[in-house]
Amino acid sequence: MREPYLSWPEAAWLIMQFTICANYLFMPQLLYSMSGRLSWAVTMIAVLPAVAGVWATYYLHARFPDERLGQFLPRLVGRPFSILFGGAFILFWLGGAATNATVFAHYVSDTSLQFTPVTVLVATNVLMIVLVSLSGLKTLVRVADALLFIVAPFLLFAQFWPFFGSRIDFSNLAPMRLSDLAADKWRLAGAALAMYHGYQFVFVAGPALNPPGRSALTAGLVGTLAAVPAFLSFVAMPLLAFGWPYANLLTYPAASFLEVVAPKTGLFPIRRFDFVLTVLFRNIMIIAAMSYFYSAAQTLSDLVSPSAHRMHPWFVAGLGIAVVASSAAFKGIRTVMQFTGVWVLLGALVTVLTVVLAVVARFRAGSAGRR
């Protein structure tokens, strides 16, 4: 058992970052394509399956407080199913790391560093991710703690400042048609299931989370609920600022709306405030990518060698090379969007698996006469 050094507020902050990550660059477009003008409502509907996921994660953490996902899976479902279920989580987390490392690289390449190859930008992101992963979970936690004081004020500013601008028009949300939610209901259900998935980080924190049990429940609920206003802002603000269908025509709608509502005074030092804010949000994205990558590497290591005290460096380096190599398949933001459509469905699968694992643990505990 490792020394517990991750408090529930730290875990909640990590969970929030894990959840919103690069979603502010691609989730609006994804939801717009599924439910049009009513996309903002999906961000609140998705809280319901998230609560089930938080409960399932809490129950599994309380049942196996001294083990991580890759360590307790073989005892819970057997070796063959542990490889199958663990592989689904690993693929989802690696996909999240690749998305985070790639989507911002494309954004920067499209805007400010147009002559820098995207692969170089992705490799720079992945190098930071690999270095932190090699340093261990404690380093990831401390880096996230430090960014709280830098990123949180700007995140709050992004939530509230647009309401003081003159270009926000709530009439752009009308008319509201419930039929929009049924236009692509199965893909929309998958997106709702996968949207708030940050609570899964508890699986990897394992015995580092202090105290065990209820701290997982508190961190999961607080981190998930803290992500709801951010998701709502990313999806609704472009609609309020640009209207429908113009918001859907933008390549990066959530990265563009703040320019419209930036203060209209010569004393304001930076006109492209939306880009500056996006660069600051990059810190959240990198932390999220580190969390995804670390989760995948740690779970793979635990499945292969459950008793190992730390991940093998070649494991981490190999996965990093795989992420950089896979990014070459993304020729542009449209290709990334196509991939995220598949990745979201994989996220829905692991959300369901999380609940299934908790139910299995509950019945097996009952049959053994345990709570």
List pLDDT tens digits, range 34-84.
Answer: 888 888 888 899 999 999 999 999 999 989 988 899 999 998 988 889 999
Structure tokens belonging to residue 2: 């490792």
Identify the CA nearest to 116 among candidates 104, 100, 98: 104
The helix/strand/coil state of 333 is helix
pLDDT tens digits for range 72-85:
999 898 888 999 99
The helix/strand/coil state of 7 is strand
* Residue 135 to residues 86, 143, 305, 321, Cα–Cα distance (Å): 23, 11, 19, 17
* Residue 3 to residues 62, 134, 138, 140, Cα–Cα distance (Å): 17, 18, 10, 15
Identify the CA nearest to 281 among candidates 12, 82, 16, 74: 16
Task: Report pTM.
Answer: 0.85
The answer to whether residues 73 and 208 touch, using CB atoms and an 8 Å cutoff, is: no
Identify the CA nearest to 274 among candidates 111, 53, 120: 111
User: Exposed, middle or buried, 287 (CB in 10 Å: 0-12/13-18/19+)?
Assistant: buried
Which residues make beta-bridge pairs with 7? 210
The residue whose two tokens read 């990066």 is 252
What spatial distance separates the first Cα and last Cα of the chain, rounded to whole Å?
Answer: 22
The answer to whether residues 39 and 31 touch, using CB atoms and an 8 Å cutoff, is: yes
Provide the residue type at 4 as one letter: P
HSE toward the beta carbon, residue 268, CA cutoff 13 A: 11
More reliable by pLDDT, 114 or 263: 114
Say what the pLDDT of residue 284 is.
Answer: 67
| Candidate ranges 226-235, 329-338, 355-364; pick with highest mean pLDDT | 355-364
pLDDT tens digits for range 336-346:
777 888 888 89
Identify the CA nearest to 201 among candidates 292, 315, 94: 292
pLDDT higher than 80, residue 184: no
The residue whose two tokens read 């990093």 is 320
pLDDT higher than 60, residue 367: no
Q: Considering just the CA atoms, what is the radius of gyration of the chain in Å?
A: 20
Q: How far apart are CA 371 and CA 366, in angstroms?
A: 6
pLDDT tens digits for range 258-315:
666 555 555 444 455 555 665 666 666 777 788 889 899 999 988 888 777 778 788 8
DSSP string, 262-323: S--STT-S-S-HHHHHHHHHHHHHHHHHHHHHHHHHHHHHHHH-TT-SS--HHHHHHHHHHH
Q: How far apart are CA 18 and CA 20, in angstroms?
A: 6
Which of 1.10.1740.10, 2.30.250.10, 3.40.50.300, 1.20.1740.10 would CATH assign to domain 6-357?
1.20.1740.10
The answer to whether residues 14 and 141 touch, using CB atoms and an 8 Å cutoff, is: yes
> Which residues are within 8 A (CB) of 84 and not within 5 positions of it... i.e. 6 or more apart?
none
Q: How far apart are CA 291 and CA 117, in angstroms?
A: 25
DSSP code at position 245: T
